[in-house]
Structure 1
Amino acid sequence: MTQETQYDLIVVGSGAAGLSCAITAKERGLNVVVLEKEPVFGGTTALSGGVLWIPLNHHGRKQNPADSVQAVRTYLMQETGAFYDEESVSAFIENGPRMVDFMERKTQMKFVPTLYPDYHPDVPGGVDIGRSILAAPYDIRGLGKDMKRLKPPLKTITFIGMMFNSSNADLKHFFQATKSLTSFLYVARRLANHIRELALYRRAINVTSGNALAARLAQSALDMGVPILTSTAAQRVVMEGDRIVGVATKATVANGDVERILRARYGVVLACGGFPHDIQRIAKAYSHVRRGHEHLSPTPESNTGDGIHMAETVGGVMEIRFKEPSAWMPVTRVDLGNGEVGVFPHLLDRYKPGVIGVLSNGKRFTNESNSYHDVGAAMVQACKDLPETVMWLVCDKATLSKYGLGYVKPSPMPIGRFIRNGYLLQGQTLTELATRAGIDPTALEQTVREYNTGAVMGEDPAFGRGSTSFNRYLADPANQPNPCVAPVQNGPFYAIKLIMGDLGTFDGIQTSVVGEVLRRDGSAITGLYAAGNDRASIMGGNYPGAGITHGPNMTFGYLTALHIADTADRDAQAASGGQTVARQAVPT
């Protein structure tokens, strides 16, 4: 551990927002340190899809030259509703593309375009392509000895530890491996390379998605001389007079815990990942939890609202304002064996033809091919008078064999252990399946019968599955005339039980546009900033597109760092009697 105790800037949290802030500040000449209470860095970012929603970035402009500032503004006005913030939206639109250019020019960060439509492309200002970009795959051997400190991905979204690319093109080859020679050869190469990596390094080396985003940002910070102090928890921010001057920390080392004060000349940035595991706060914020219903978050268990608590103790304000305080994600609990339990986020199966979602009353309640957040919000509302906030995904044998369901992989992978451990329920008839699941059997029979009437023709008159480009993007283009719709008809039938989870919180600390933590009277707490999910989202509790967490989080982390560096420059100039000062970072 570095013995230095004086810095220009202290960043608490090693996710995308915190690292973006640290990198930008370091590039501007500040002496920066990043604190991370876990023994590994990357936070929620390392578990994520690694997608950024950055309208008008240079990759997207090539895909969609017709996109415009006005279209983006119109879309966000529609999406954020009463929480539309003109100043923050303008700052995001202006600085998002600049942040991307800066990262690609100055760091190890590389992005690739995706084919993601906005999640609501039919809303005014929405587009079918050009706003979401993805972290390029990365060989983590570039991290050297720090490779072991990179947070691994969720086990449930890997295949024997191998990661898939969030662009969806990667997964399509795996679904087609038994039907296409090109896909078979692609999968064979991927598996061979992965097995070689496991033999040599005991983990995947060529990482994708959020693991690639976290690795590239961490590598950039470390290359620039920014220490990332893992196993170092921030206990409280230190205030002298009316300004924040540092952080009290507790570090776990080989011979015990070490407590010390780290001082910051120009500021402390709280980027601790929001409050998805703050039990007391989510009990107030989440309506289904208030009703006594279960919630299971796949985010890091260390995201316990530390940054919010620290801000509140010195006058910062955090209120639950948004109708949807989190990015909802329906999940299943997975028995990984040997007493280990995993969480599986349902990112893909709901879009596939032949899969429907029903409540315990046996009825469908939403378009299953909408985004995870929209389906989650509909699920919370639909279950408000039911004993549990749950939905069941139901399909027949042909659909299960073709696409899998949840953690259950497609044919030829065996399904026996999932039936034995109760993750996957099976019934020779819909009535038998419903009885085993605790679903109303008569209602389920009627629901499937009504659904099948339109499904045989590729239609869903009840909820309009397949009606948007986003619905169709994650479905099966080979299934025509509607990639999202096919009947549920020949037994045996299968079901899995989904409960509510989240990808991170939306409500957060009230800040200025540049991230200054504000008191209730609107004044800024000098030297204290919030970034990432610690800061209230500009999306107002909605989820307009793939990457609306990382995109704004990295943009505002970048913007916060620029503000702090500008403040430091002004202070240095004033101290020198108005002369321009060439300020250098203090060596570590």
Structure 2
Amino acid sequence: MTQRLPNQGVLEDQYDVIVVGSGAAGLSTAVRAAHQGLSVLVLEKTEVFGGTSAWSGGWLWIPRNPLAQRAGIQEPFDAPLAYAKSEMGERCPDERVLAFLEKGPEMVSFFEQETALRFVDGNAIPDFHTSNGHALGGRSVAAAPFDGRALGDWKYTLRKPLSVISLWGMGIASGQDLKHFFNATRSLRSALYVAKRVGRHVIDLLRDGRSTQLVNGNALVAALLKSAVDKKVYLQNNAHVSALIKHGERVTGVDVVIDGKPTKIGARHGVVLAAGGFPHDTKRQKALFPQTAGQQHFSAAPKTNTGDGLNMAEEIGAKIRDDLDNPGAWSPVSLVPSKQGAIHFPHLIERAKPGIIAVLPNGRRFTSEADSYHDFMKALFEATPTGEEPYCWLLADHRAQRRWGLGWSRPFPFPTSFYERQGYLHKGETWHALAQKIGVPSTALVHTVDRFNRDAQLGHDRDFARGASPYNAIQGDPENRPNPSLAALEQAPFYAVRIVAGSLGTFAGIATNEQGQALTNHGSPISGLFAVGNDMSSVFEGNYPSGGITLGPAMTFGYIIANNLKTLSEKPATDLNSSEEENHAVL
């Protein structure tokens, strides 16, 4: 059934700016452009707005951001630049990195002051790695919780949180919110907090049919959606953009099918591709993902993200970067059975909790489970013999599963039997029994667990130094001693969940310059065409230095592109024609 939109008037046949895609990248571009007086159309392929951003944690990596500065955390421009250089090597400095670091704080200030979006700080969140220039905090911000009732009827057009990581459709934020849910059976204060949240959610379901207590990426997109509506951005769902229209060497509009009806819509100053990369484009995956050894790749992004932006740009001569250090933002996922096919659960949190480890099919550990999701998967790829499917098993004892859950299998008071019947959670009364169930050599598994348990009791992981880095430590349990990330797996029964190769999105994308303009294979800008978000090739060249390095650059370059479009709108037509001729000469 088609989701009806609130009345916005008549869809016009031309706008100053057309944005293809409605995640944080697209909406931030649209909001900033509309704020500057440009007419903006956002075209969304699906019924609901928000894209992958609506399922994300809602974190942005923005060094020197206003929230950190207000808290007294001051650092020079060269500090995060040094970190980017240490992570990217010879690929940095890139002009786009410099533009991102310069404009990021300005972008946060704009959205704080001029829109419905508010932020909370991540001043205690360290960078992923301890390479030169890293920080122990002050470089992250996240969307503050948002009351979905402020959207009015537009709330029904917002993509709901990913079902398998929400509680009956209610999102749970990282930090104190999540901590209360973990402690609900251990603390009266937390129990009351959870009861209040769940009670409000029940009322929401009865009244609105969905949660309105929005957190994480859902709050980010909701606030951007509210801002877009307030600034008269025209929002169109069920709009499948099939091709870019060119006049000479300039992109001047799009071919789009809206509710099954093909039409052409013009763009006076530019088309911005923000269609979410290619996480479910199997052809491009096979070409760019040698890590999966020809096996299926299981992205946690919406299945409608099939590479439309990249394909359309490539058709008119844009360069698609295929030379990055990593073509995808890797993430371990497990496959949750459902009537509509498997849902891909991203394992972002529980891997680092005490009492949980990961082993290869040979029964041996291969990395620190508390490392970032991206690093965890890189280690799995490296440990998997050439030509074999990369997968592993996430293991927990009874105490850890009841405390933290294991993937989709929730902690106490949810019974484990349901997840066992679904074939998702495997259980054994002994390690030998569990090893037999999951096809892992029992002798090797018992040896691995015994060695890990001895290390956990001493608080030192001899094999992979788990818990030693600031990021490892903060991912664990601060109440667990002597190491927040280490606890022996001793209490039967024991559990396992199968982890396969997945991602949160893609890094390979359209080559762009520091203004967000799409580039040809010769390096010249394509007039009237821009790319942002995961359609834009990774600013960090396929590296993952910290949490939020997808949304941070996405919104910053949305802001930069909108500024550039405003400048183009102020140029006389003769200047634009001259620019087209210059581009044509280069092409």
Q: TM-score, structure 1 length as denominator?
A: 0.94
SS in 1 for 2:89: helix
Alpha-carbon distance in 1 for matches of 2:406, 2:574: 62
Aligned equivalents of 1:137, 1:212: Cα separation in 2: 6
Letter in 2 for 1:432: A
Q: Indicate whether 1:75 and 2:83 are aligned.
A: yes
Contact 1:119/1:371 (<8 A) preserved:
no
Give the corresponding residue for 1:554.
555
Q: Distance in 2 between matches of 1:386 and 1:423?
A: 26
Whether the aligned pair in 1 keeps the contact of 2:534 and 2:554 (CA below 8 Å) is yes
1:444: which partner in 2?
A: 445
Q: Deviations over 1:46-100 (max 9, x none)?
A: 1111111110011022345242211101000011223223321221111001011
Which letter maps to 1:528?
L
Structure-1 residue corresponding to 2:305: 303
Task: Give CA deviations for 1:168-197 in whole Å, capped at 9, x if unaligned.
Answer: 221111111111121111111111111111
- Counterpart selection for 1:333 from 325, 332, 335: 335
Q: 1:176 to 1:211 in 2, by over 3 A?
A: same
Match of 1:181 among 171, 176, 188: 188
The equivalent position to 2:158 in structure 1, one of 127, 150, 155, is: 150
User: 2:283 corresponds to which residue?
Assistant: 280
1:169-568 alignment runs, 5 A limit: 169-252=176-259, 257-289=260-292, 291-336=293-338, 338=339, 341-385=342-386, 387-568=388-569
Asked if structure 2 preserves the Cα contact closer than 8 Å seen for 1:276 and 1:305, the reply is yes
Partner of 2:40: 32
- The Cα of 1:342 is off from its aligned counterpart by 2.1
Does the 8 Å CA contact 2:326/2:543 hold for their aligned counterparts?
yes
Deviation, structure 1 residue 506: 0.7
Runs of at least 5 residues in structure 2 that lack an aligned partner in the other structure: 1-8, 577-587
Q: Is the 8 A contact 2:319 2:510 kept in 1?
A: yes
Quote the residue 1:90 is aligned against.
98
Query: Counterpart in 1 of 2:581?
Result: none
Q: How much does 1:106 deviate? A: 1.1
Structure 1 residue 128 displacement after superposition: 1.2
1:2 Cα deviation from its structure 2 partner: 2.9
Greater alpha carbon shift after TM alignment, 75-84 vs 225-234 = 75-84
TM-aligned CA deviation for residue 306 of structure 1: 0.7
Deviation at 1:163, TM superposition (A): 0.8
* Counterpart AA for 1:80: M
1:439 CA drift (Å): 1.0
Q: What amino acid does structure 2 have at the position aligned with 1:437?
A: I
Map Cα deviations across residues 491-545 of structure 1 (whole Å, 9 max, x no partner).
2211111111111101111111111111111111111111111111111111111
Structure 2 CA distance, aligned partners of 1:82 and 1:278?
30
Moved more, 39-48 or 119-128: 119-128
Report the Cα distance in structure 1 between the residues aligned to 2:423 and 2:124, rounded to whole angstroms.
34
Supply the AA of the counterpart residue of 2:22.
S
Secondary structure of 1:570's partner? coil
1:323 CA drift (Å): 2.7
Q: Which residue identity is paired with 1:159?
A: L
Letter in 2 for 1:519: T
Q: Is the 8 A contact 2:161 2:170 kept in 1?
A: no
User: Is the contact made by 1:132 and 1:547 (CA closer than 8 Å) also made in structure 2?
Assistant: yes
Aligned-partner SS, 2:479: coil
Give TM-score scaled by structure 2 length: 0.94
Alpha-carbon distance between aligned partners in 2 of 1:420 and 1:432, rounded to the nearest angstrom: 17
- Indicate if the aligned counterparts of 2:314 and 2:320 stay in contact, CA closer than 8 A: yes
Contact 1:88 1:513 in 2 (8 A): yes
Q: Give the distance between the partners of 2:131 and 2:441, measured in 1 at CA.
A: 36
- Which residue identity is paired with 2:493? P
Which amino acid in the other structure matches residue 26 of structure 2?
G
- How far 1:334 moved relative to its partner? 1.1
1:409-456 deviation digits (Å, cap 9, x = unpaired): 112211101112221111111111111101121111111111112111
User: 1-side partners of 2:271 and 2:24: how far apart?
Assistant: 16
In 2, the alpha carbon distance for the partners of 1:42 and 1:292 equals: 30
- The answer to whether the Cα contact below 8 Å between 2:349 and 2:475 also exists between their aligned partners in 1 is yes
- C-alpha displacement of 1:571: 2.2
The AA in structure 1 aligned to 2:203 is R
Which residue type is aligned with residue 553 of structure 2?
A: P
Could you tell me how far 1:22 is from its partner in structure 2? 1.1
Question: RMSD across aligned C-alpha pairs, in angstroms?
Answer: 1.6
CA–CA separation in structure 1 for the residues paired with 2:124 and 2:163: 25
Letter in 1 for 2:222: A
SS at match of 2:458: coil
The answer to whether the Cα contact below 8 Å between 1:157 and 1:163 also exists between their aligned partners in 2 is: yes
Please list, as runs of the form range in 1=range in 2, the aligned pairs for 1:86-165 lying within 5 A after superposition.
86-165=94-173
Are the structure 2 counterparts of residues 143 and 572 from structure 1 closer, same or farther at C-alpha, using a change threshold of 3 Å?
A: farther
1:582 aligns to what?
none
Identity score, percent? 43
Q: Sort the Cα spacing of 1:334 and 1:115 in 2 relative to 1 into closer, same or farther, 3 A.
A: farther
CA-to-aligned-CA distance 1:345-367 (integer Å, 9 cap, x gap): 11111011111100000010000
Q: Which amino acid aligns with 1:236?
A: A
Partners of 1:132 and 1:120 in 2: how far apart?
12
Extract structure 1 runs of 4+ deviating beyond 6 A: 572-575
Does 2:95 correspond to 1:50?
no
Q: Name structure 1 gaps, 5 residues minimum.
A: 576-588
Question: CA–CA distance in 2 between the matches of 1:229 and 1:130?
Answer: 37
Q: Counterpart of 2:223 in structure 1: which amino acid? A: R
Residues 369 and 465 in structure 1, CA contact (< 8 A), matched pair in contact too: yes
SS in structure 1 at match of 2:342: strand
- 2:3 maps to which residue? none
Kept in 1: contact 2:127–2:471 (CA 8 A) = yes
d(CA) in 2 for partners of 1:61 and 1:175? 31
User: Which of 20, 30, 50 lines up with 2:28 in the alignment?
Assistant: 20
Following the alignment from structure 2 to structure 1, what is the Cα–Cα distance between the partners of residues 232 and 20? 17
Partner residue in 2 for 1:583: none
1:8 counterpart SS class: strand
